[in-house]
Every structure is written in C-alpha cells, then in structure tokens.
Homo-oligomer: A and B are copies of this chain.
Amino acid sequence: MCKFGSKTLVRERERGSLGMVSPALSFSGKDCDFYFSSRDDDMDENNDRSESPFGAGNPFKSGKGSSAGDRPGHKRFRTQMSNLQLKVLKACFSDYRTPTMQECEMLGNEIGLPKRVVQVWFQNARAKEKKFKINIGRPFMISQGSPDGPRPECTLCALASPGAGMLGFPTPATPSPAMSLSTTPTKTLLQTPPPPPPPPPPPPVPS
C-alpha cells in the first residue's frame, strides 16, 4: 500500500467557484513568506501568487523538488502570519473547522497565503482546540456545565458560535466513536451563497 506519494493536486473538490462571494478581503497584509515543503505528505503547490495583497515575498522557496526539509543545516521556514491573516483565519475557523482544499485555496488567495499554509493552519487549529478541550474537560471537575462538556447538540447545525472563538465547538472532548461525525460540515467556506441549494435530482436519465 502506498501510503503517500506526492500529490499532484489535481483535485478539485467541490469547486467553490460557485460564487465565492468572498468578502473580498483586501488586506494589505504584510508578510507572508511561504516556503514550500515539498515533503511527502503534502503537496504543496505553491500557487504562485507573488503579488498578492498580502505581500508575498517569498523568501526562497526551497528548492522544492528535493526534499528541502531533510536538509540538515537547512532551516525550516516558518511562516509568520500577520494579525490580519490570523484574524481572518480564526474567523473562518469559527465557522467551519474543516474547509475543503478548494476553500483553503480560495481563502489563501484572499489573504495571501499558500493553500498549504492555510491547510496546515486549520489542522493545527483543530488539534489545538481538541487538546484544549481535553485538558479542561479532564480533570475531575467536570461537573458543571462544563464549557466544553458534552454538548448534546449536533455539530452539524450548531456551528460554532460566532463569537466563540476557537472553543466554540460543541464537540465533546472525548471523541466518542459515535461522534465521529466529525463536525466537519464542510461547506463552502466563504459562504458562497450562490446557487441555491439545488440538489438537482437526477433525472432518470434523460432518455
């Protein structure tokens, strides 16, 4: 089984092209260096966006092809996100924790970060949130309406509360199997409202 291979990202998930109505973030962020890790697991594709409003000065992309990471003596690049970028990311995160690749890409374009970075940020954010929840929920003192408590509500509909910030999630700290519903409601990130909901039923083959 091949575990990972490089990925060519050809994938297109649900193309949010729909209407991305994104709020046009026109930030003037400042720095955003991307680096590319071309390691296996991820793909990186650097979309070249060298001119994004967020400023992209990419330091130098490590040569990519060759695993830049394993290079001893090579520093790993660490993207320094601007406040603005973080703000946007957090805002989005409160809405949905697991954007699709495509959404990551769009969002990345909006704020001037490579898709990969956005993706990683979300991953880390999810991890962080989870860890946090577990911590507070653990110790004996769970009694109470614990903040994170096992909220019976459904993750589907209970999106995080807007103001909630990261912890807005209902998901119980414990990943109960049953819950694997993973809250990820993937939806179009930037709330693209475009096409109404139309699940066009399949026509029984137009014969």
User: Does A80 reach chain B (CB closer than 8 Å)?
Assistant: yes
Neighbour of A46 across the interface among B24, B45, B57, CB < 8 A: B45
User: Does A145 reach chain B (CB closer than 8 Å)?
Assistant: no
Copies of this chain present? 2
User: Does A135 reach chain B (CB closer than 8 Å)?
Assistant: no
- A22-B201, A154-B156, A160-B156 as given contacts; A175 in contact with B2, CB under 8 Å: yes
User: Does A139 reach chain B (CB closer than 8 Å)?
Assistant: no
Q: Does B205 lie within 8 Å of A175, measured CB to CB?
A: no
- The number of chain A residues with a CB under 8 A from chain B is 116
User: Does A26 reach chain B (CB closer than 8 Å)?
Assistant: yes
Q: Does B157 lie within 8 Å of A153, measured CB to CB?
A: yes
**CB under 8 Å from chain B, chain A span 170-200:** 175, 177-200
Q: A: which residues have CB within 8 A of B?
A: 2-28, 35, 37-51, 53, 55, 57, 59, 64-65, 75, 77-78, 80, 82-84, 87-89, 91-92, 94-96, 98-100, 102-103, 106-107, 110-111, 152-162, 175, 177-207
